[in-house]
Amino acid sequence: MHLLFSIERTLYVPFAVIIVDVIYILFRFHGKIHSFSLTHHKPILLIFFLLLYNSFNGLLQEGRFEFYLLGLVVVSSLLVFILDQHVYNIQNCRIPFRESVMLLSKGYIWLAMISILGVILSFVLLRIGLVHGSPLSLDFFETNEYYSSVVYLRTFVSVTQAPINALGYYREIRVPFFQDYGVLCGLFHEPHILAYHIFPCVIFLIGIAKSVKQRVLFIILSILMILFAGSATNFIVIVACLSVYFILLARKNAYFAVLGLLLVLVLVGGYFILDDTFLQFVLNRLDSGNISNMSTKELLAFAFSPKTLMGTNFLSTSFTTEAGGAGGQDIGLIAFIFNIWFLVLYFRNTIKLLFKHDRVSVSVGFMCLYYILHSAKIGMNMYIQIMPVFLVYLQNYVLKYGRIQTTNRIRAERIKS
């Protein structure tokens, strides 16, 4: 997803995505597109306003107008796909609520599983010597290659990120054993970007698993991906989400909450006692002088510090590499208000979901919580991703049609009785 969409200097990739989308619409819908009102999905409407505003601003200031406009078209095509499945679910009201949400999420689940299984399979093949990394060069790798001194390799079905020194490839291992061959990133190009996009899916799958065996399997996959990614941001956000989970669980069953918390602490503590390499890496990232920590703070400060009405290009992150912070760039009061409005609506829906009593709603709530907390790492660039649109739509679908289907089920049970 990130490789196909978040590219600042290669317009042909989002353009190619749009062509594929149009072909899909023609064959899947026979050229017919259902009507759709954004007024019922205010957070999505705010994203459209933000992208339109930034495109207009880019046109005025000779910015990346064409890129942001293409991004808007990609987001629109996503809505068409979701809407088609939505209409199918509504027209076939006999579909159980859990299955209807799964159908809406099917494409995202496939994308996440390709990356997860791709990382694991590539690692196994590397370990037994059947595959080797080959150099991979794309223009949007240049920033990381220059500032982080890394090289990119294509390893079977995964992108691998590895630091380089004068002697050749050298891996500064964050997690021993799992990163002996570099950081395997699946379909993405950074470990934290891998976690950013797949962990909401893993959380969702853990929550809606039908059996204990399925839940254990997804928990194991999540632990493996924490170790493969070795992302400090991912680890910190997971700790935050687990804290919220145990607090909510304690309201229902304090015994299980304490028991679960102790089990997590024993497992994590035991691992860090055996090898504290990853722990030291996380603590280093939390240091106020760490460049990654400073970059995150600058992104957040930029997003909440408007200085003028119009501002500049709020999707640019070049100021994080400049001395003195924002380097003359400004989010602008208009984009600042849209951003605050979106965050308020997003958190409101997330909290509603977390306090629901069915597993589907709670699972969607936690996947939304993880995504927005991890988004602090990329700041306003969250809005050029398509995940926020998907999550907002899923929030509204679960809150609205979950209630409707639950009401219909209760009525049917009363009629039978």
Residues in the chain: 417
Residue in 158, 70, 163, 166 with CA at minimum distance from that of residue 114: 158
187 neighbors 118 (Cβ within 8 angstroms): yes
What would the two tokens of residue 271 be? 């691992």
Q: What is the pLDDT of residues 42-93, one digit of tens each?
A: 666 666 666 666 666 655 555 556 666 666 676 767 766 666 666 666 666 6
- For residues 19 and 225, give the distance between their C-alpha atoms in angstroms, rounded to a whole number: 33
- For residues 197 and 187, give the distance between their C-alpha atoms in angstroms, rounded to a whole number: 10
What pLDDT does 412 receive?
Answer: 53
What pLDDT does 8 receive?
Answer: 43
Confidence check: pLDDT of 198 > 90:
yes
Confidence check: pLDDT of 192 > 60:
yes
Confidence check: pLDDT of 276 > 80:
yes
What pLDDT does 2 receive?
Answer: 39
What pLDDT does 272 receive?
Answer: 93
**Where is average pLDDT lowest: 6-10, 357-361, 365-369?**
6-10
What pLDDT does 319 receive?
Answer: 55
Residue in 354, 358, 352, 350 with CA at minimum distance from that of residue 391: 350
**Where is average pLDDT lowest: 168-177, 228-237, 327-336?**
168-177
110, burial (CB in 10 Å: exposed 0-12, middle 13-18, buried 19+): exposed
What pLDDT does 3 receive?
Answer: 40
Confidence check: pLDDT of 327 > 60:
no
390 neighbors 368 (Cβ within 8 angstroms): no
Higher pLDDT, residue 283 or 134: 283
**Residue given tokens 């999550």 in the structure block:** 391
Cβ neighbour number for residue 242 with a 10 Å cutoff: 15
Cβ neighbour number for residue 148 with a 10 Å cutoff: 13
Average pLDDT value for the chain:
78
Residue in 237, 235, 236, 263 with CA at minimum distance from that of residue 249: 263
What pLDDT does 131 receive?
Answer: 80
- Rounded to the nearest angstrom, the gap between the alpha carbon of residue 222 and the centroid of all alpha carbons in its chain is 14
Residues 6 or more apart whose Cβ sits within 8 Å of residue 280 = none
- For residues 383 and 362, give the distance between their C-alpha atoms in angstroms, rounded to a whole number: 24
55 neighbors 8 (Cβ within 8 angstroms): no
pTM of the predicted structure, to 2 decimals = 0.86
- For residues 35 and 42, give the distance between their C-alpha atoms in angstroms, rounded to a whole number: 16
Confidence check: pLDDT of 208 > 70:
yes
- For residues 371 and 43, give the distance between their C-alpha atoms in angstroms, rounded to a whole number: 15
What's the whole-number mean pLDDT along residues 337-360? 90
- The percentage of residues in the chain with a pLDDT greater than 70, rounded to a whole number, is 65
What's the whole-number mean pLDDT along residues 7-20? 60
**Where is average pLDDT lowest: 4-18, 154-168, 311-325?**
4-18
DSSP states of 31-69 as a string?
Answer: T------GGG-HHHHHHHHHHHHHHHHHHHTT-SHHHHH
Confidence check: pLDDT of 204 > 90:
yes
- For residues 13 and 223, give the distance between their C-alpha atoms in angstroms, rounded to a whole number: 32
What's the whole-number mean pLDDT along residues 227-237? 93
Confidence check: pLDDT of 261 > 80:
yes
Q: What is the pLDDT of residues 375-413, one digit of tens each?
A: 988 888 887 788 888 898 889 889 887 666 555 555 555
What pLDDT does 166 receive?
Answer: 40
Residue type, 272: F
What's the whole-number mean pLDDT along residues 295-304? 83
Residue in 68, 30, 15 with CA at minimum distance from that of residue 383: 68
Confidence check: pLDDT of 251 > 70:
yes
Confidence check: pLDDT of 241 > 80:
yes
What pLDDT does 133 receive?
Answer: 75
- For residues 103 and 327, give the distance between their C-alpha atoms in angstroms, rounded to a whole number: 45
Residue in 129, 138, 121, 120 with CA at minimum distance from that of residue 4: 138
Cβ neighbour number for residue 63 with a 10 Å cutoff: 18
- For residues 203-234, one letter each, b for 16 or more C-beta atoms within 10 angstroms of the residue's C-beta and e for the rest, the string is bbbbbbbeeeeeeeebeebbeebbbbbbbbbb
Give whole-number Cα distances, 5 to 17, 65, 224, 255, 362, in Å.
8, 15, 26, 45, 29
Confidence category of residue 278, pLDDT binned at 50, 70, 90: very high
Confidence check: pLDDT of 256 > 60:
yes
What pLDDT does 7 receive?
Answer: 42
DSSP 8-state symbol, 319:
G
What pLDDT does 167 receive?
Answer: 38
- For residues 190 and 184, give the distance between their C-alpha atoms in angstroms, rounded to a whole number: 9
